Amino acid sequence: MRSGKVFHIRTLAAKLFHLHVARKVKRDVGHHSAFTASRAREMPAFTMRTCSYLRVKGMPKIIQSPAKYIQGPNAAVSFGQYAKNLADRFFVIADDFVMNMAGDKVLSGLAEHDVTCHAERFSGECCRTEINRLMTLAEQNGCRGVIGLGGGKTLDTAKAIAWYLKLPVVVIPTIASTDAPTSALSVIYTETGEFAEYLIYPKNPDMVVMDTTIIAKAPVRLLVAGMGDALSTWFEAKACYDSGATSMAGGKSTAAALSLARLCYETLLAEGEKARFAAQAGVVTDALERIVEANTYLSGIGFESSGLAAAHAIHNAFTVLEECHHLYHGEKVAFGTLSQLILQNSPTEEIETVLAFCQKVGLPVTLGQMGVKQDIEKKIQAVAEAACVEGETIHNMPFPVTPDSVYAAIITADLLGQQWLSR
């Protein structure tokens, strides 16, 4: 992670799939049957602020998800029996560290089922130059499917290559720190790592594979950050449902999506602390399995097919503060969730449940834990203004929101967090 701001843009963009953007992408992108490296440079880009939040009468209910989701110990080996139904030859990309750590596992899993592959090292940056380079190699080597193995930028690059070449894509995350792997989106950076644009696709990945043996060995803080991201899913989904906002899937939330969002929250409360201990030990337990599913699948379907509200808007706004750039996406989202609960005047018992969960797993509940310790009034006023800009997801709340009300919610959340920790 180069900085908190860069990481934020990728995960934020993964959560900004919206109706009129989706329609535009389908119009500008979906009608092309083949893509070349040169054509890739011409593809339309959509910035975060192109998204508006619509409430359209008669809008249908829509739910979207990956075509197949596979999870379990050594799933990066066993997935080959399903991958063979997508293609008989795959283009596999991973960075040097991940290729050395897990590359043999994936390649042997394919070979066991008579699936061939060509593996290439990913440079580390999801930029146009790298996408074009890898597209050319995939074509030259006669590959008929794409596999991305690793972190977010690797997976985003794999999605882009597969889309431009009209090939199926399999994403194999090596961490469970966000719900982005299931999304129908890639974020593109410049060669120097600055955000450039994001691409939204009309379909989700063909397959998502979560190998919990690999994920259990990742830094514990990443799994906890994933819990922080997932913590917001139910509360934001419910807010969008109550307000009638359109989801990133392009319609109203289904009962199924809302139920998955609720199950995500219940799973976090029941299994989160136990999963953290398992991750500290580097072992796979039932609790860890349940949390990986909650962080990735339940939260992924829940947000994309239900919507985002105040928690993520407040997260986005905290990126204006330099002292918050060291935080992972989910760590900021967790505090944003607490702030949303204050904003919507949730029952004290519910707020205390969230505070207790955050304390148990190690998520921030105060501004001090976020790194904000000086000039608090001025800085939080800036955050509140940023959270309420036109087009932000905070306007999916079922009541009017102003910078003043957001400021009050954040300051109150901080005081509640301080009081909770002093018990």
Q: Count the helices and strands in the chain (H runs, E runs).
A: 20, 8
Query: Is-catalytic flag, 32?
Result: no
What's the token pair of residue 171? 């994403």
Query: Is-catalytic flag, 88?
Result: no
3-state SS class at 145: strand
- Which residue among 156, 179, 206, 229 is the active-site one? 229
Maximum Cα–Cα distance for the chain, whole Å? 63
Beta bridge partners of 93: 120, 148
- Which residue among 8, 18, 325, 329 is the active-site one? 329
- Which residue among 312, 325, 395, 414 is the active-site one? 312
Strand runs labelled E in 65-162: 68-72, 89-94, 116-121, 145-150
- Which residue from 353, 346, 313 is spatially nearest to 12, judged by alpha carbons? 313
Is the separation of the CB atoms in 255 and 237 below 8 Å?
Answer: no
What's the token pair of residue 256? 């199924």
What's the token pair of residue 137? 């190699």
- Which residue from 5, 388, 404, 366 is spatially nearest to 195, judged by alpha carbons? 5
Cα–Cα distance, 339 to 343 (Å, whole number): 6
Cα–Cα distance, 217 to 237 (Å, whole number): 31
3-state percent helix, strand, coil for the chain, nearest multiple of 5: 55, 10, 35
DSSP classification of residue 215: H
- Which residue from 396, 361, 359 is spatially nearest to 280, judged by alpha carbons? 361
- Which residue among 8, 18, 315, 395 is the active-site one? 315
Query: Is-catalytic flag, 18?
Result: no
- Torsion angle in degrees (nearest 10) through CA of 384, 387, 388, 392: 180
- Which residue from 70, 92, 99, 313 is spatially nearest to 209, judged by alpha carbons? 70
Query: Is-catalytic flag, 229?
Result: yes
Q: C-alpha angle 401/402/406, rounded to 5°?
A: 85
Cα–Cα distance, 294 to 335 (Å, whole number): 19
Is the separation of the CB atoms in 260 and 29 below 8 Å?
Answer: no
Give the torsion sign (CA, 199, 152, 302, 309).
negative
Is the separation of the CB atoms in 314 and 339 below 8 Å?
Answer: yes
Catalytic residues: 229, 312, 315, 329
